[in-house]
Amino acid sequence: MITSVKEILTKAKKDGYAVGAFNTANLETTQAIIKAANEMHSPVIIQMTEKTMNYTGGRAIFNLIKNVAEFYYPKIPVGIHLDHGKSLEIIQRAADIGFTSVMYDGSRDKYDDNLTATKKVVGFCKKKKISVQAELGSVPYFGEIGTENADWEKYMTNPNQAEEFVKDAGIDALAVAIGNAHGFAKERKTPDYARLEMINKKLNIPLILHGASDWENGKVDEVVERGICCFNVDTAIRLAFINNLANSLKNKSDISFDIRKVLGNAREAVENVVKEKIKLFRSDGKA
């Protein structure tokens, strides 16, 4: 059943577990994510980035998620979210389509500019009952830090600033930078747990960890204890899909040029990854 992201996050935070927010860009990935969540009896968030909105038009995938969730898997809560919206225009487009949860990402701007733009987005979204996630500090991408040791201080969320930002902007959730990175970029050797703890003490809203594709057991538990209630996962899914596809294409004789066979195998590979992540984040059995 379609459930608001706000409700999914609030429940996870209250009960001390985390959900996965998985990125989709096509039919097979969408089906795999919801099926995996259903089999694990887990709430789940599915999200689209701005690039995916442009690639698919947005509405097609939005309605696909809705149909798959409502018709085939009505028992589990499925939230739909716009990931990394970078302008008011894309947020307005998402609102027109029916999104009730968006991220406005002004993390690359100066503090004041990020705050001003986020406030504008929140002003627009409040009237439409849309919840807003923002990012303070910035979670770097592979293109920014690669596999070298990064100057982490440059990227980290400042707890005092976060307190002020949340109060001023009135956001519903915050993406934090504590040594995490997007893609398979080299992350900080140990996440800054003390910083996260401080952020969590100062804020009373759900905290989101982006770049969770390569997060393992120990780290996951430590940050959930300190307030993270949602992990964003994209790269691990893309990798599973594309690697499987590449293997199928190498062994052409097995696939008899049946598009459903090739994409069906890739879909199964994604489903397995999503199941593993759900177990890792401990949202299994929480639906």
By CB under 6 A, name the one of 20, 77, 159, 183 that touches ligand 13P: 183
**Helix 259-281 vs helix 27-39: crossing angle, to nearest 10:** 40
Residue that has been written with the tokens 């009505």 in this structure: 74
Confirm or reject binding of residue 211 to ligand 13P (CB under 6 A): yes
Which of these segments, 188-196, 211-219, 252-260, 274-282, binds ligand 13P (CB under 6 A)? Answer: 211-219
Q: Of the residues 83, 105, 172, 234, which is catalytic?
A: 83
Confirm or reject binding of residue 77 to ligand 13P (CB under 6 A): no
One-letter amino acid at 24 equals T
One-letter amino acid at 286 equals K
Confirm or reject binding of residue 83 to ligand 13P (CB under 6 A): yes
d(CA 133, CA 29): 23
Helix (H) or strand (E) run with residue 231 in it: strand 228-233
Confirm or reject binding of residue 29 to ligand 13P (CB under 6 A): no
Question: Measured from the CB of residue 219, what is the shortest distance to Zn ion in angstroms?
Answer: 17
- Asked if residue 18 lies in contact with residue 11, where contact means CB atoms within 8 angstroms, the answer is no
Question: Measured from the CB of residue 63, what is the shortest distance to ligand 13P in angstroms?
Answer: 22
- Asked if residue 220 lies in contact with residue 18, where contact means CB atoms within 8 angstroms, the answer is yes
**Which is closer to ligand 13P, CB of 236 or CB of 255?**
236
**Which is closer to ligand 13P, CB of 41 or CB of 86?**
86
* Interface positions with ligand G3H (CB under 6 A): 23, 49, 51-52, 83-84, 182, 210, 234
**CA 175 to chain CA centroid, nearest Å:** 10
Confirm or reject binding of residue 50 to ligand 13P (CB under 6 A): no
Question: Measured from the CB of residue 52, what is the shortest distance to ligand 13P in angstroms?
Answer: 11
Instruction: Work out what residue 223 binds among Zn ion, ligand G3H, ligand 13P, none; the CB cut-off runs from 5 to 8 Å by kind.
Output: none
- Of 118, 128, 188, the closest CA to residue 153 belongs to 188
In b/e form, how buried is each residue of 23-53, taking b as 16+ CB within 10 angstroms? bbbbebbbbbbbbbbbebebbbbbbbbbebb
Confirm or reject binding of residue 43 to ligand 13P (CB under 6 A): no
Does 83 qualify as catalytic in the annotation? yes
What are residue 58's DSSP bridge partners?
Answer: none
Instruction: Work out what residue 233 binds among ligand 13P, ligand G3H, Zn ion, none; the CB cut-off runs from 5 to 8 Å by kind.
Output: ligand 13P
Question: Measured from the CB of residue 255, what is the shortest distance to ligand G3H in angstroms?
Answer: 27
d(CA 7, CA 14): 11
d(CA 55, CA 216): 31
Q: Report the SS3 class of residue 84.
A: strand
Instruction: Work out what residue 51 binds among Zn ion, ligand G3H, ligand 13P, none; the CB cut-off runs from 5 to 8 Å by kind.
Output: ligand G3H
Q: Give the interface with ligand 13P as residue ranges (CB under 6 A).
A: 23, 83-84, 182-183, 210-213, 232-236
| Positions marked catalytic | 83
